[in-house]
């Protein structure tokens, strides 16, 4: 035993300590390590736990976005967002068909194109369009007005 | 002490257990002043050591390595025991405490009681040095601190032990303990 270090304890006390600790008899119980199972390391289940947590968050988000717990609805919603339905030709032709009966009757062939501010108005009925040519000063043959102006001049 | 152990070898660990378990148990008895707790902590320490046996490096003595695990286990036990004591005091608040068992009180040594009252790190330094015969370098390796810290701890522990035993200090060992041949740790 090395005694080069400084002895901080009284030799008598050291002798008592040795005597008393040597008198302590360890119990003869079987070693516990022979029956102890290997510790379960939590990090081994980390990928599984991570995948479960990710799936749960995804399901909650999808439920909140669609308002439906049905995964089929979620799939439809995803497809709708990724590939929005292209506008069909029938939907474009509908306004043309609705305007087609109006356009030939309301707008004469010789009528000049309407100013840009009057763009939305052609959707209206022909009754609304009929007074417009009277207000239009560029109209070539407003029959009453030349007569009236000529009579006024004379 | 043979230190030709191979890390991971079951036979070598069995051999280490046969040699080191009594010594570790006595160390923990001095630290905890409770034979049942000492046995529990010693067994837990060997279970922990067994699971880490393949990672043990032969550059430190295997018994010192197990001692390190056991002392840490005893420190954890003392910490949780303090919490249990506080909880017990709160639970029995207003009621008289049960008197101690006279037979158990008579069988206990004032020296071991004084050691158990010391902080575990100080008590471990005293036991490893003055019972197991480790030098400061070996204690430092066992407890994971510097040799300078071990010197300080030994001085503090010796002083506090003397103060605690001042009224009853005597050369005579109590009759309840029969002195056996001391197991000296011959290293140098």
Tens digit of each residue's pLDDT (9 = 90 or more) over A3-51: 445 556 888 889 999 999 999 999 888 899 988 766 666 677 888 999 9
Spell out which residues of chain A touch residue B21, defining contact as CB-CB under 8 Å.
Answer: 26, 31
B117 within 8 A of B34, measured Cβ to Cβ? no
pLDDT value of residue B176: 45
Tens digit of each residue's pLDDT (9 = 90 or more) over A69-117: 888 888 888 888 888 777 666 555 555 454 545 445 545 555 555 555 5
Query: Using the 8-state DSSP alphabet, how is residue A137 labeled?
Result: T
A40 touches chain B (CB under 8 A): no
Interchain proximity B29–A18, CB inside 8 Å: no
B157 touches chain A (CB under 8 A): yes
pLDDT value of residue A52: 94
B75 within 8 A of B120, measured Cβ to Cβ? yes
Interchain proximity B111–A4, CB inside 8 Å: no
ipTM > 0.85, yes or no: no
Question: Could you tell me which of A134, A101, A106 has the C-alpha nearest to residue A122?
Answer: A106
Domain ranges of chain B: 10-93+108-165
Spell out which residues of chain A touch residue B35, defining contact as CB-CB under 8 Å.
Answer: 24, 27
Question: Could you tell me which of A12, A7, A16 has the C-alpha nearest to residue B134?
Answer: A7
CA distance B132 to B23: 8
Measured in Å, how far apart are chain B's first and last C-alpha atoms?
A: 11
> What's the CATH code, domain B10-93+108-165?
1.20.140.160
Interchain proximity A21–B29, CB inside 8 Å: yes
Question: Could you tell me which of A2, A9, A8, A13 has the C-alpha nearest to residue B135?
Answer: A2
Highest mean pLDDT among A11-20, A82-91, A134-143, B87-96: A11-20
Distance from CA of A3 to the nearest CA of B (A): 7
Chain A from 8 to 37: CB within 8 A of any B CB: 8-10, 12-24, 26-27, 29, 31-33, 36
B100 within 8 A of B80, measured Cβ to Cβ? no
Tens digit of each residue's pLDDT (9 = 90 or more) over B121-154: 999 999 999 999 999 998 998 888 999 999 999 9
B152 touches chain A (CB under 8 A): no
Higher-pLDDT residue of A1 and A48 is A48
Interface residue of B24, B130, B151, B168 to substitute, partner A, most A CBs within 10 Å? B130
The predicted model scores a pTM of 0.57
Higher-pLDDT residue of B164 and A86 is B164
């Amino acid at each position: 035993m090395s005694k080069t270090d400084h002895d901080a304890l009284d030799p008598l006390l050291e002798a008592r300590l040795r005597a008393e600790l040597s008198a302590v008899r360890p119990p003869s119980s079987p070693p516990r390590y022979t029956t102890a199972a290997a510790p379960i390391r939590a990090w081994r289940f980390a990928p599984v736990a991570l995948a479960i947590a990710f799936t749960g968050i995804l399901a909650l988000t999808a439920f909140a976005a669609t308002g439906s717990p049905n995964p089929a609805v979620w799939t439809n919603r995803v497809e709708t967002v990724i590939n929005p339905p292209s506008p069909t030709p029938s939907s474009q032709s509908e306004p043309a068909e609705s305007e087609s009966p109006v356009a030939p009757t309301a707008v004469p062939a010789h009528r000049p194109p309407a100013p840009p501010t009057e763009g939305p108005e052609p959707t209206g009925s022909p009754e609304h369009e009929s007074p417009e040519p009277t207000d239009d000063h560029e109209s070539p043959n407003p029959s009453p007005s030349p007569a009236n102006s000529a009579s006024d001049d004379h | 002490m043979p230190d030709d152990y191979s890390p991971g070898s079951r036979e070598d660990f069995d051999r280490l257990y046969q040699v080191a378990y009594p010594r570790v148990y006595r160390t923990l008895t001095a630290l905890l002043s409770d034979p049942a707790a000492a046995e529990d902590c010693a067994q837990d320490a060997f279970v922990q050591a067994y699971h880490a046996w393949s990672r043990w490096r032969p550059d430190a003595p295997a018994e010192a390595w197990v001692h390190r695990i056991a002392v840490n286990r005893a420190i954890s036990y003392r910490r949780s025991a303090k919490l249990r004591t506080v909880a017990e005091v709160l639970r029995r608040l207003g009621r008289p405490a049960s008197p101690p068992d006279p037979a158990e009180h008579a069988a206990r040594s004032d020296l071991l009681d004084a050691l158990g009252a010391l902080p575990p790190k100080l008590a471990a330094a005293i036991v490893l040095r003055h019972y197991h015969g480790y030098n400061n370098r070996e204690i430092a390796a066992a407890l994971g601190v510097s040799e300078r810290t071990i010197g300080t701890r030994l001085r503090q522990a010796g002083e506090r032990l003397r103060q605690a035993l001042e009224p009853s200090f005597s050369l005579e060992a109590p009759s309840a303990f029969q002195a056996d041949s001391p197991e000296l740790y011959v290293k140098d």
